[in-house]
Amino acid sequence: MPAVRQIWRYLRTGLVITCALLSVATYLLMVRSRTISDKAQRSHSWIDESGAARSTYFGLWSGHDYIWFTLDRDRLGSKGRGSWMNDYFVEAQRSGGRAVWQFSSNNNLHEYFLIDPFEGMTHRGPVRWGIWPRAKPELDFTSHGMRVAVDHRLLAILFAIPPAYVLLKLAIRWQRLRWRRNRSLCIRCGYDLRATREKCPECGYGPVIDSTADPVDRSTHSSTIPR
């Protein structure tokens, strides 16, 4: 069990540090997103057994004070070969069925979605989303897309909660230890140690206080002990 507690302690510490770094990174992205959009996208195109061109697209990018998550799944049947949507087949043949990652940064003034980046989204607020199916029966084309946009400030606050909680606990603990030490109390259980200064007779913790410290008259202090 001690090993399990140690592992859990390491995991918890790693999670808190990761959340703190993500909070800072999200704030920096918020400042940057007002002029520059940063994108990471993964596209995968292939031709299935029926001869239809299929593609999946996942995009994660920061721009216009939001972080965007985009997911698209498209299928173009053989009827669409040679049509104005023939790019699906061209891309599937060019990629050879392999997934492709791309990373880029662009000026917001040149973004194609600058007209209305929230078009088709169903909510106005710090979290926005849109889900839309598309179909063109004459070309045997179907598409399912989803887009979620989250305000940078909301994400930064959410990521900051775990480290803020840990800092608050440390501050309370430090204040409690200081309060007990100043009143000659055991720093672990709060037992009165004016009669002994080597080891707490209640919990066995020690040495617990400075043996050179002057005893404190507890009658002049509040009897309420912080827990």
What's the whole-number mean pLDDT along residues 43-70? 90
> Bigger pLDDT: 212 or 28?
28
Q: Name the DSSP class of 223.
A: S
Cα→Cα distances 207→76, 150, 185, Å: 76, 52, 12
Cα→Cα distances 147→70, 144, 152, 226, Å: 4, 11, 16, 49
pLDDT at 213: 46
Q: Which of 77, 58, 54 is nearest to 68 (CA)?
A: 58
Structural contact between residues 82 and 144, judged by C-beta atoms closer than 8 angstroms: no
Structural contact between residues 156 and 30, judged by C-beta atoms closer than 8 angstroms: yes
User: Coil, helix or strand for 71?
Assistant: strand
Question: What are the structure tokens assigned to 26, written together?
Answer: 């999200």
pLDDT at 151: 92
Q: Is the pLDDT of residue 153 over 90?
A: yes
pLDDT at 155: 93
Q: Is the pLDDT of residue 184 over 60?
A: yes
- Residue 106 host element (H or E): strand 99-107
- Plot region of 45 (φ>0 → left; ψ -120 to 50 → alpha; else → beta): beta
Output the pTM of the full model: 0.70
The 10s digit of each residue's pLDDT in 109-146 is 555 445 566 777 777 788 988 888 888 888 899 999 98
In which band, very low, low, confident or very high, does the pLDDT at 195 lie, cut at 50, 70 and 90? Answer: confident
Q: Which of 86, 79, 58 is nearest to 70 (CA)?
A: 58
- 30-44, 55-69, 158-172, 189-203: range with highest mean pLDDT: 158-172
Cα→Cα distances 203→187, 190, 216, Å: 10, 10, 21
Structural contact between residues 179 and 223, judged by C-beta atoms closer than 8 angstroms: no
Q: Is the pLDDT of residue 221 over 70?
A: no
